[in-house]
Amino acid sequence: MAPDVTARRWLSAAARWETGLAVLLLLIVVLGAAASPQFLTTSNLFNLLVTSGEVAIMALPMTLIIISGEIDLSVASILGMSSALLGYLWSIHWPMLAIFAVLVLLGAVAGLVNGLLVTRLGLPSLAVTIGTLALYRGIALMILGPKTISNFPAPYNTIGVIAVPHTDIPWSMAIFVVLAVISGVVLHATATGRSLYAMGASPEAALFSGIRVKRIKTILFVVSGVVCSLAGVLWTFRLATAVQNNGLGLELNVVAVVLLAGVSIFGGKGSIGGVVLAVLAFAGLANALLLTNFNQEATGIVFGAVLLISVFAPNAGALWARLGRLRKHQRPVRPARQ
């Protein structure tokens, strides 16, 4: 394919990805409302937002990490570890504020381990964080064992179910909005944000431009750890239970949201606006499927399909070309005699 065509297609696709997402979101709302009278009720929308709060929050640092050309698959395990430690420390009567401080530290250390393994040892983050995914979940199990802690005290145990005063917005969504604004500004308006795109698009050119690739990546992993630890707190209070397998497998939802947002899995492309839209579309879809008594076993298929399409669509051109090449190779011909 001619480079100019590819480039133009790429550019317009990037410009239109968010538009497409907005249309998708609208479609979900319209279809959801048509399918179930409950869909647009305040209580349902509240519910919808509440249940996707943690994934939404964790998707923000994940977005920055993927744009910078890395990935963090340990997010849900950090959430679980944080939840387990919260339960354990509360069960041995620590004051809540001290627990929060410890959890922030826990997230930071967990992220730092990821970051150092990736930047100092030069290991691929995919492998490193698959390792720490297992490791951190194992630590959660060690901390809490098979126990379930659920006697959390008054103001905290309602955080997951009440709205910010004078609004209909759940706390977790309010936190998401604040973090989204911060991430959006950092990514789209600061030198650091520009550096993230450069690192993802061309690691070597970023290094030759004096960008502190290792330091920035380490910080990103630390931030991700802290945010995921915070998500662990929200999760625990929302479900009012701390168990070691809290949020098991949630990293896939987080990655799915980020990819649906149009962030390139190869790094260098994506926007926070897209993530906000993708969070809402994902939550809306899950909720609509639930309300319409959609065969629950099949929701996995729907999400899987959405994920595949969102990875496939931006790269359709390249994949098509590759298929073409493969097809050609299947019928080798004798070289011309000479």
Partner 1 sequence: MTPAAAPVLSLRHAAKSFGAVQAVADGSLELSAGEVHALVGENGAGKSTLVKMLAGLHRPDAGELLVDGKPVALPSPAAAQAAGIAVIYQEPTLFPDLTVAENIFMGRQPLLPGRRIDRRLMRAQSAALFGRLGVPLDPGRICRGLSIADQQLAEIAKALSRDARVIVMDEPTAALSAAEVARLFEVVRTLRAAGAAVLFISHRLEEVFEICQRVTVMRDGRQVLSSELAGLTADDLVRAMVGRQMPERTAGERSEPGELVLRVERLTREGVFTGISLAVRAGEIVALAGLVGSGRTEVARAVFGIDRYDAGTVAVSGRQLRKASPSAAMAAGVGYVPADRRQQGLVMDMSVQQNVALASLAGLRRAGLVRSAAERAFAADWAQRLRLKYGRLTDPVSLLSGGNQQKVVLAKWLGRRPALLIVDEPTRGIDIATKAEVHQLLVQLAQQGVAILMISSELPEVLHIGDRILVMREGRLTAEYSHREASEEKIMAAATGQLAVQAP
Ligand X SMILES: Nc1ncnc2c1ncn2[C@@H]1O[C@H](COP(=O)(O)OP(=O)(O)OP(=O)(O)O)[C@@H](O)[C@H]1O
Q: In angstroms, what is the minimal distance from the CB of 321 to ligand X?
A: 16
List the x/- string, 160-189, binding to partner 1 by CB under 8 A: -------------------------x---x
Does residue 332 touch partner 1 according to CB under 8 A? yes
CA atoms within a 13 Å half-sphere pointing along the CA-CB vector of 6: 10
Residues 136, 197, 237, 303: which binds partner 1 (CB under 8 A)?
A: 197
Does residue 12 touch partner 1 according to CB under 8 A? no
CA distance 303 to 212: 37
Q: Which is nearer to ligand X, 8 or 215 (CB)?
A: 8
Please choose which of ligand X, partner 1, none residue 334 contacts, taking the beta carbon within 5 to 8 angstroms, the exact cut-off set by kind: partner 1
Does residue 4 touch ligand X according to CB under 6 A? yes
Name the residue type at position 289.
Answer: L
Does residue 323 touch partner 1 according to CB under 8 A? no
Please choose which of ligand X, partner 1, none residue 313 contacts, taking the beta carbon within 5 to 8 angstroms, the exact cut-off set by kind: none
Name the residue type at position 316.
Answer: A
Q: In angstroms, what is the minimal distance from the CB of 294 to partner 1?
A: 39
Q: Bridge partners of 149?
A: 242
CA distances from 72 to 223, 251, 272 (A): 11, 8, 17
Does residue 50 touch partner 1 according to CB under 8 A? no
Q: Which is nearer to partner 1, 216 or 276 (CB)?
A: 216
**Cα 94 versus chain centre, distance:** 31
Please choose which of ligand X, partner 1, none residue 59 contacts, taking the beta carbon within 5 to 8 angstroms, the exact cut-off set by kind: none
Q: Which segment (46-54, 59-67, 96-104, 194-202) binds partner 1 by CB under 8 A?
A: 194-202
**Structure tokens that stand for 193 in this block:** 């944000």
Q: Are 149 and 90 in contact (CB under 8 A)?
A: yes
Q: Are 110 and 218 in contact (CB under 8 A)?
A: no
Does residue 191 touch partner 1 according to CB under 8 A? yes
Q: Which residues bind ligand X (CB under 6 A)?
A: 3-4
User: Which residues would be at the binding site for partner 1 (CB under 8 A)?
Assistant: 2-4, 7-8, 11, 185, 189-191, 194-195, 197-198, 201-202, 204-212, 268-269, 328-329, 332-336, 338
